[in-house]
Amino acid sequence: MDPEQFREAGHELVDWMAGYFAHIRDYRVFPDMKPGGLIDALPNAAPETPEPFKRIFEDFQRLVVPANTHWNHPNFYAFFSVSGAPPGILAEMLIATLTVNHMLWRSSPAGTEMEQVTMNWLRQWLGLPDEFFGIIYDTASISTLHALVAAREKYDPEARTRGANGNLVVYCSEQAHSSIEKAAIAIGIGQENVRKIGTDEAFRMRPDLLEAAIGADINAGKHPCCVVATVGTTAVTAVDPVPAVADVAARYRLWLHVDAAYGGAAALVPSLRHYMDGVDRADSVVMNPHKWMLTPIDLSAFYTRHPEILKRAFSLIPSYLQTSDDSRALNFMDYGVQLGRRFRSLKLWFVMRAYGREAILGMIENHCAWAREFASWVEADPRFEVVAPVTFSLVCFRHKDGDEATRALMDRINESGIAFLAGATIRGQFVMRLAIGNFQTTQDDIRRVWEFLRQ
Ligand SMILES: Cc1ncc(COP(=O)(O)O)c(C=O)c1O
């Protein structure tokens, strides 16, 4: 593809992308297909000879788009609803055009320094202390893995060379995300050394049970090393009492990691800012701009006040990567598992500049207000009940006839294609989750979902 052909194809693509946003409500949110449908429709082997770009793009429209669950659809309410907004999408095109790999400062000064600039901007928006060092990973799961590696490095530095000894223990609530257990599995702490602490009536970690579990482990000769508090748990968006958890962590000298992957964005809104109270005392924090801050997946922001520990855990520099740049030249490869790094910060920079803090916080405020309104409709209908406090923009609710009725209703709306919701089992009951997070969602969209469910 020469530059002229690239220009022509690029214009055609951008026209399609603009049309996608303009007519997005014409798409089914969840595809009408059976598993294997796309595999069966595509050849079993790649072509030997070049195919015209036009044909590839036609197949994208004819086969790939109808097989897609449209996460960027305003009526996508499943999991955590996320959205990639146009400025970030255009930045993705530039990222791919530059195709830099900023493992070292000298392998891309722009990639390295833009990551420092955007992590500093975002740190201020989140209200985190100046001394927090920020780095971008792909997902919150990987950010949390790095938090656990740093905690392991702090309390058992020899684990780095000899491997973990099965003695370290990590604590989180029974509502915490599975990425904590996965990280413990991956770094050798072991799944059975993750303690799931019980929660109160609002699904928040109970600090008294946390302290009791730590005491029991110490008596058993174990070595408590890390506690993970969550601001916005996955199933119900509960907020653990971070200040009280931080007190316990300080008493037992544990690493405090805060998983604010979804809830962290709410820190932009002054009336919701208090949910981040105590996070400034954490050793590390993760927040995902790709969840509720308009940035196309994937971009997870990780902050720690101990970059030197992270660096000690990971700095392994082969001779071909040794440089003698001055001390201001940061080499991000020293702070994580991966060597290669995408220029992810560019899309965050575009999003932050194109919207500004006020527009983003306005969107978050709207989403939260609409969630509360939806919950009030559910409460007013005697056939339904809301099953968890509406803290942010998620409503967990169910049909009072039970799990079967709730699941049947959810399947019905998903199969209709007009909206897509996901469920979860909370304290033994199946619930539907309406997660509002897309920048194109309107109050009317939410009203139509309720009308469908009500009828
Ligand atoms: C609270 C929380 N933490 C972590 C994650 C994992 O996020 P990621 O997909 O970025 O790994 C999720 C996913 O929804 C989450 O809700």
141 lines ligand 1 (CB under 6 A): yes
Atom of ligand 1 nearest to the CA of 176: 1
Buried b (16+ CB within 10 A) or exposed e, 224-254: bbbbbbbbbbbbbbbbbbbebbbebbeebeb
Residue 164 confidence (pLDDT):
85
Nearest CA, atom 5, ligand 1: 140
Residue 82 confidence (pLDDT):
86
285 lines ligand 1 (CB under 6 A): no
Q: Which amino acid is at 308?
A: E
Cβ distance 193 to 170 under 8 Å?
A: yes
259 lines ligand 1 (CB under 6 A): yes
Residue 421 confidence (pLDDT):
97
Spell out the residues 6+ positions from residue 110 whose beta carbon is closer than 8 angstroms to its own: 100, 102, 343
Atom of ligand 1 nearest to the CA of 142: 11
Q: 79 C-alpha vs ligand 1 centroid, how far in Å?
A: 10
> Taking CA 367 as the corner, what is the angle to CA 95 and CA 295, rounded to the nearest 5 degrees?
5
Q: 402 C-alpha vs ligand 1 centroid, how far in Å?
A: 28
230 lines ligand 1 (CB under 6 A): yes
Atom of ligand 1 nearest to the CA of 260: 1
Nearest CA, atom 9, ligand 1: 139
Q: 54 C-alpha vs ligand 1 centroid, how far in Å?
A: 37
371 lines ligand 1 (CB under 6 A): no
Q: 261 C-alpha vs ligand 1 centroid, how far in Å?
A: 6
φ, ψ (nearest 5 deg) of residue 284: -155, 155
Residue 112 confidence (pLDDT):
97
Q: 275 C-alpha vs ligand 1 centroid, how far in Å?
A: 18
Cβ distance 40 to 67 under 8 Å?
A: no
300 lines ligand 1 (CB under 6 A): yes
Q: 177 C-alpha vs ligand 1 centroid, how far in Å?
A: 7
Tokens of 447: 């009203």
Nearest CA, atom 13, ligand 1: 234
108 lines ligand 1 (CB under 6 A): no
237 lines ligand 1 (CB under 6 A): no
Q: Which residues of the chain have pLDDT under 50?
A: none
Q: 416 C-alpha vs ligand 1 centroid, how far in Å?
A: 28
| Single pTM value for the model | 0.96
Atom of ligand 1 nearest to the CA of 232: 1
Q: Write the DSSP string, 319-385.
A: GGG-----TT---GGGGSS-S----THHHHHHHHHHHHHHHHHHHHHHHHHHHHHHHHHHHHSTTEE
Q: 344 C-alpha vs ligand 1 centroid, how far in Å?
A: 18
Q: 57 C-alpha vs ligand 1 centroid, how far in Å?
A: 32
Compute CA 33 distance to the chain's CA centroid, rounded to the nearest angstrom: 27
Q: 145 C-alpha vs ligand 1 centroid, how far in Å?
A: 12
Residue 81 confidence (pLDDT):
86
262 lines ligand 1 (CB under 6 A): yes
- C-alpha 139/C-alpha 143 separation (Å) is 6
Q: 173 C-alpha vs ligand 1 centroid, how far in Å?
A: 15
- C-alpha 324/C-alpha 302 separation (Å) is 27
Instruction: Please provide the CATH number assigned to the domain covering 101-342.
Output: 3.40.640.10
- C-alpha 374/C-alpha 340 separation (Å) is 44
Atom of ligand 1 nearest to the CA of 233: 1
Atom of ligand 1 nearest to the CA of 288: 10
